[in-house]
Amino acid sequence: MKPTSTARIYRPTRRNLATLANVLARGGLVAAPTETVYGLAADALNAKACRAIFRAKGRPADDPLIVHVDTLAQAEAIAEWNEAARLVAKAFWPGPLTLVLPKKPGVPGIVTSGLPSVAVRMPAHRLFRQLIRLSGCPLAAPSANPFGYVSPTTAEHVRDHLGRRIGHILDGGASKIGLESTIIDLRDTAHPALLRPGAISKEGLERVLGLTVSAHGRTVPTKARAIAPGMLERHYSPRTPLILSPALSPELIGRVPANEALLFIRKPERVPPFKNVFWLARSGGSLSEAAHNLFDRLRSLDTGGWRSIHAELAAGDDPLVAAINDRLSRAAAKG
């Protein structure tokens, strides 16, 4: 089932961190954990190293990378800052928030896909920050999955799909948040725009900015792009059609065919003993718990041989509703 992997998984010892930082400083690739998802990192100022990220992921060159920093000084060296950016960085960094700002000349065009802007984030993960510090490089890192696949939240997820294309994976356990960062475009300070929902909500950003944040969606369309032939690995399956339901009724349990899975946000009260019923959080559990488990659950259901998956959408006014439903909808769109 799993392709043979040639990648080594490193435990986060001091010695291994030094080894991996050295790989990065010399222009190599390292997959490493952040609090959102695992990233595939390279020196952001080394065009050749960044080109290797695109190759390993099978990522089209017109889909730009996020640059990760350890300090504000590093962030200011790559992007033109403004007052709005300072406000949100003060409120939410380090954390799951990426800012799109005008880029400074030192950033190679390959990182930004030739755009005059750059996406920058200070992650909250101790190990990722240590890699930036020890390597001395800001690190460009997209999610560490082949292009178009579900993002990885564990070292094993990375190995399962990229294990033959990269050499080094740092294991930091499961990513705490489990969804990619919120992306906000702050180039025009009067008109901030949300490019991707995440754990930092639009409302939270609006409170800090004192402005409405528009949700125009992505400026960089990634959905409609064709995936290079031969890129799809057989065992991965947004092949399993995902069918979204605003409210999946527990009444359906036992009524859908046994080869169709039901995926609830929270465990329904009193689940009859059916093998096709799954959930993302315990009964009464939080949406943070659901977000944390989402990608892992989608991956395991994908390899479970189901004919289809009926998935419940999140509801209510929790700030994570938009982000969870965005990822479920993307997964469904591929089906």
The residue among 17 and 65 lying less far from Mg ion, judged by its C-beta, is 65
Binding segment (CB under 5 A) for Mg ion, from list 25-33, 137-145, 157-165, 219-227? 137-145
Which does residue 195 touch among ligand TXA, Mg ion, none (CB within 5 to 8 A, set by kind)? ligand TXA
Q: How far apart are CA 294 and CA 292, in angstroms?
A: 6
Residue 200 has which token pair? 């930092």
Stretch that binds ligand TXA, among 18-26, 116-124, 157-165, 278-286 (CB under 6 A): 116-124
Q: Is 74 in the site for ligand TXA (CB under 6 A)?
A: no
* 298-325 b/e (C-beta count within 10 Å ≥ 16 → b): bbebbeeebeebbbbbbeeebbbbbbbb
How far is Cα 182 from Cα 92, in angstroms, rounded to an integer? 11
Distance of closest approach, residue 77 Cβ to ligand TXA, in angstroms: 16
Is there binding between residue 174 and ligand TXA (CB under 6 A)?
no
CB of 40 to ligand TXA, least distance (A): 8
Select from 41-49, 95-103, 141-149, 261-269 the region that touches Mg ion (CB under 5 A).
Answer: 141-149
Of the two residues 69 and 183, which places its CB atom closer to ligand TXA in the complex?
Answer: 183
Q: How far is the CB of 48 from Mg ion (least distance, A)?
A: 22
Helix (H) or strand (E) holding 67: strand 66-68
Q: Which distant-in-sequence residues (6+ apart) come within 8 Å of 287 by Cβ? A: 265, 281, 314, 316, 318, 320, 321, 324
Selected binder of ligand TXA within 42, 49, 141, 280 (CB under 6 A): 141
Please tell me whether residue 158 binds ligand TXA under the rule CB under 6 A.
Answer: no
Helices (H), the chain: 14-25, 47-57, 72-78, 83-92, 109-112, 126-135, 155-162, 202-209, 287-302, 321-333
